[in-house]
Structure 1
Amino acid sequence: MATTKKSTIKDIANVLGITPSAVSKALNNHPRISVKTKEDVIQVAKNLNYQPNHLASALRKGKSNLVGLIIPKANSHFFSSVLQSIEEILNDKGYSVIISQSNESYKKECESIDVLLFTQVDGVIASLANETLNFSHYEKIKANGIPLILFDRGENDLEVDYVGINDYQSSHLIVNHLVEQGCKRIAHIAGYRHTRIYKNRIIGYVDALKKHDLPIENDLILEGSLSLEDGRKKMEALLKLPNRPDAVYAAGDFAALGALQVLKENQIKVPDEISLVGFGNEPFTSFVSPSITTINQHSEEIGRLAAEAFLYRIKNPKKKVSLNKMILNAELVVRESSNKNP
């Protein structure tokens, strides 16, 4: 099958009888090129279906106006909301966003970074995959002098700007609320503690239990992927304990939904017998019955701050500025799944 030859600047120049240099200047709105010539060039470019070579342009100018965005999963309202906020701000400043989904895979994350570096992006904004334990692929971004901004899931060892919520405080908000509702045996369906945000949520949970003189038992802390299916499995395991919990705090809303399904299948009344709290304020948490108490992570604000951090770094490439750790206070959204006294 024959491939269609791509049109070039030289092809446009040949049609108009001008130099390739004049075409290039016209396409880049150079002030020395007449309006008439610019209009002619644009029309011929459209007729020839000319597509600019952004990589070649980036190599020439040292700037691509492209920003890479790496997210763990696109089916999360939190990440899609952060993405939308970042895009709105960066598009307004003339940047296009290249979106890559790691699907929680370390290998996919490494591949994405290689592609973004090859594409000559001006910066990378990212949230780490669950599988990521080694950060050498992110160090490559820094070694290339490209601004790297992390959000939600980030590691202090990388020494880059970071935006997220106070995960430690979030656990205190949740445990305090459950204790106020009369709960005394609170389980935690946790994320993997090698990821900083989940480690901080576990520490916050443990410290909050200590504050209320409640028992800390290893069989009540179950680490996992926080997927819906993982939430189901963890809830089934908790129900098999000789002394089952009277409350469950899941570090992700999808895990909380899976736990809720199991509780309903076992005719366990929520919150009368077991209270339930999630994390992330996914839209479905307000629609299911009972509606799920959760943590609002202020996704739009996180996206805005991440985009602004990149813009600041790109405008001040040589300025020695201390790292910016932007930590937002979380908000507990109380709903039916934990509110025993509505």
Structure 2
Amino acid sequence: MKRITIKDIAREMGLHHSTVSRALRSRSEINQATREKVLKYAALKGYQVNRNALQLRGSGSNIIGVIVPNIHHSFFSNFVSIITRLAFEAGYIVAVFQSEESVEQEKEILKSIIQQNIAGVIASISMETTDTSHFQQLDHYKIPMVGFDRISSSLKTSTVELDNLSTLRNVVTTLHSRGYTKIAYLSGNPSIHLYQERQKGYFGGLKAIGTSYQKCLQLTDKFTIEQGYHATEKLMEAPEKPDALIFDSHILACGGLQYLKKQGDRLLENTGIATFGGHPWLSISAANILFIQQPEDQIAKATFDLLMENIVHPTQVKTTALKFQATLI
């Protein structure tokens, strides 16, 4: 069967081929009724975009690049899944890149994205990233970007994130309301904006509850179960032990729970636990666990919508910063 082309659709519908092309790309200058008729007819005839022809004409790609630090983290894997669905519905496909918390790998990813002329980028920076000049290259090549979760104030892009300061403050006060007074926090690299804000929230929460106990471990390497285990061990072997632990990742929490369980059920039962990334099976290990649930659907949709605005209306780009609230479960 002969592959149907834009010119075929234009001839059969009595439209100019440029009108059909714009309608198939959902361009705003084509009225909605015409767009819907063209899209319906193209779907009926089994039209498929010829990406090679588009690239030869210099048209934009239909590929969106999503850069995450660690796809094994539940937040990032769920985020990618939601973005992939939204992109498919809008006629785009997603290329997922994992920096594995390496700034050098992140730089190579950006080179690849620029070489492939990807339509736009959604990115969360690695734990090692302090200099963001490699991301700034995207602007030179007119590739729009929206930052999410781990963002940098040095990048003049739209961003979507959790209200991290108020979230950690709420976690501390909630644990205190449950009877815990010596609350320790296993956090990330303070050079990353996200962890700066969370640590401010932690200390703000301690001030609010009027406790003198302060213990924030800043873990600058990639989060691992082993790291969570040894960090918890360090805290519990100190002269003044915490009675509650906040983990910045369920990966760290897994290690922490392993250590507590190894010491006996009594310690595990008497220690309050709060963690980002709520895997239901964690509640089997600790009945008194507090899950910090990020609104993943809202964050992903807001991020995608901002990128689409930048792609469709490149001359009307506005830098927008959105924050969402977490739910404590």
The bucket for the TM-score relative to the shorter chain is: 0.7 to 0.9
Counterpart position of 1:257: 254
Out of 320, 325, 328, the residue aligned to residue 321 of structure 2 is 325
Counterpart position of 1:162: 159
Deviation at 1:284, TM superposition (A): 3.5
Secondary structure in 1 aligned to 2:270? coil
Calculate the TM-score normalised by the size of structure 2. 0.82
Gaps of 5+ in 1: 1-15, 17-22, 36-51, 334-342
Secondary structure in 1 aligned to 2:190? coil
Counterpart position of 1:221: 216
Counterpart position of 1:297: 294
| Matched-pair contact (CA < 8 Å) for 2:268–2:286 | no
Counterpart position of 1:62: 59
Out of 208, 233, 244, the residue aligned to residue 236 of structure 1 is 233
Return the letter of the residue paired with 1:273.
N
| Matched-pair contact (CA < 8 Å) for 1:285–1:291 | no
Return the letter of the residue paired with 1:127.
S
Out of 172, 176, 190, the residue aligned to residue 175 of structure 1 is 172
Out of 117, 120, 125, the residue aligned to residue 123 of structure 1 is 120
Alpha-carbon distance in 2 for matches of 1:236, 1:29: 68
The Cα offsets for residues 153-210 of structure 1, whole Å up to 9 and x where unpaired, read as: 1112202111111111111111011111121111111111111111111110011101
Q: Provide runs of 4+ in structure 1 moved above 4 Å.
A: 26-30, 32-35, 52-56
Asked whether 1:200 is paired with 2:186, we answer no
1:291 to 1:141, Cα distance in 2 relative to 1, 3 A: farther
Alpha-carbon distance in 1 for matches of 2:7, 2:87: 21
The Cα offsets for residues 71-100 of structure 1, whole Å up to 9 and x where unpaired, read as: 111112211111111111111111111111
Return the letter of the residue paired with 1:325.
A
Alpha-carbon distance in 2 for matches of 1:276, 1:270: 12
Counterpart position of 1:337: none
Which structure has the greater CA radius of gyration? 1
1:283 to 1:110, Cα distance in 2 relative to 1, 3 A: farther
Asked whether 1:91 is paired with 2:88, we answer yes
Alpha-carbon distance in 1 for matches of 2:265, 2:240: 15
Deviation at 1:250, TM superposition (A): 1.1
1:271 to 1:233, Cα distance in 2 relative to 1, 3 A: closer
Calculate the TM-score normalised by the size of structure 1. 0.79
Alpha-carbon distance in 2 for matches of 1:299, 1:253: 16
Alpha-carbon distance in 1 for matches of 2:107, 2:52: 20
Out of 100, 105, 108, the residue aligned to residue 108 of structure 1 is 105
Alpha-carbon distance in 1 for matches of 2:281, 2:246: 17
Return the letter of the residue paired with 1:317.
P
Asked whether 1:31 is paired with 2:9, we answer yes
1:204 to 1:59, Cα distance in 2 relative to 1, 3 A: farther
1:29 to 1:238, Cα distance in 2 relative to 1, 3 A: farther
Counterpart position of 1:71: 68
The Cα offsets for residues 26-71 of structure 1, whole Å up to 9 and x where unpaired, read as: 5456435679xxxxxxxxxxxxxxxx98467325233111111111
Aligned residues: 293
Counterpart position of 1:308: 305
Alpha-carbon distance in 2 for matches of 1:89, 1:55: 24
Deviation at 1:136, TM superposition (A): 0.8
Gaps of 5+ in 2: 14-48
Task: Give the percent of matched residue pairs that are identical in Structure 1 and Structure 2.
Answer: 26
Alpha-carbon distance in 1 for matches of 2:223, 2:289: 15
| Matched-pair contact (CA < 8 Å) for 2:269–2:286 | no
Return the letter of the residue paired with 1:221.
C
User: CA RMSD for the aligned pairs?
Assistant: 2.3
| Matched-pair contact (CA < 8 Å) for 2:309–2:317 | no
Out of 182, 189, 210, the residue aligned to residue 207 of structure 2 is 210
Counterpart position of 2:187: 190
| Matched-pair contact (CA < 8 Å) for 2:261–2:268 | no
